[in-house]
Amino acid sequence: MIAKESFLVLERFDILKSSCQCEFDDDQNVDLLDITQKYPVDIDFKIQTDNKGSFLIFVKVDINAGDKIKSGYSISAEGVGLFSLSQEAPQDKVQGYVNSGVNICITNLRAYINTMTSFYPLGRFSFHSIDMPALFKSKEEEMNSKG
């Protein structure tokens, strides 16, 4: 099947900031592979538009970060995607394309983290799939609570 080109155009994606640390617990009975699958993954994003039809999507992913860091990886990565919509894009579908852009940015950060951790002692790490509708709902609730 030939894939149709999207109206959403990713002009570029850049990493803004990243860090990765390996923390090892003194407990010899810790199963690091099991722990890494249960890491908390905190994702935030922000969308900025301009009057030329382009928009920026900033995404931040924090994995096993904060006050209670578990053994293994502690990762933070921030990136930004520059997107545009082709002239033919239906205006009633713009929000769907923006949502796709957020998903694309998260996927790019996932790939970056996977590559970055491939050089660390615990090997490659990839965080779990994200329930995108739940992420968007959570972001909407956060925005509504801020007024």
Closest residue by Cα to residue 8 from 58, 57, 77: 57
User: Where residue 30 sits, what CATH number does that domain have?
Assistant: 3.10.420.10
* pLDDT > 70? residue 28: no
What average pLDDT does this structure show over 76-80?
98
Per the structure, the complete domain to which residue 56 belongs is given by 9-142
Instruction: Answer whether residue 117 is part of any domain.
Output: yes
Instruction: Answer whether residue 64 is part of any domain.
Output: yes
* pLDDT > 90? residue 34: no
Instruction: Answer whether residue 2 is part of any domain.
Output: no
Which residues 6+ apart lie within 8 Å of 27 measured at CB? 71
Instruction: Answer whether residue 25 is part of any domain.
Output: yes
DSSP per residue over the chain, as a string? Answer: -PPPPPSEEEEEEEEEEEEEEEE--S-TT--HHHHHTT--EEEEEEEEE-TTSEEEEEEEEEES-SSSPPSEEEEEEEEEEEEEE-TT--GGGHHHHHHHHHHHHHHHHHHHHHHHHTTSTT----PPP--HHHHHHHHHHHHHHH-
**Distance (Å, whole) CA 72 – CA 33:** 9
Q: What is the pTM of this model?
A: 0.90
Instruction: Answer whether residue 81 is part of any domain.
Output: yes
Instruction: Answer whether residue 128 is part of any domain.
Output: yes
What average pLDDT does this structure show over 91-95?
84
pLDDT number for residue 51: 76
Q: What is the pLDDT of residues 48-76, one digit of tens each?
A: 998 777 999 999 999 999 888 888 899 99
Number of domains in the chain: 1
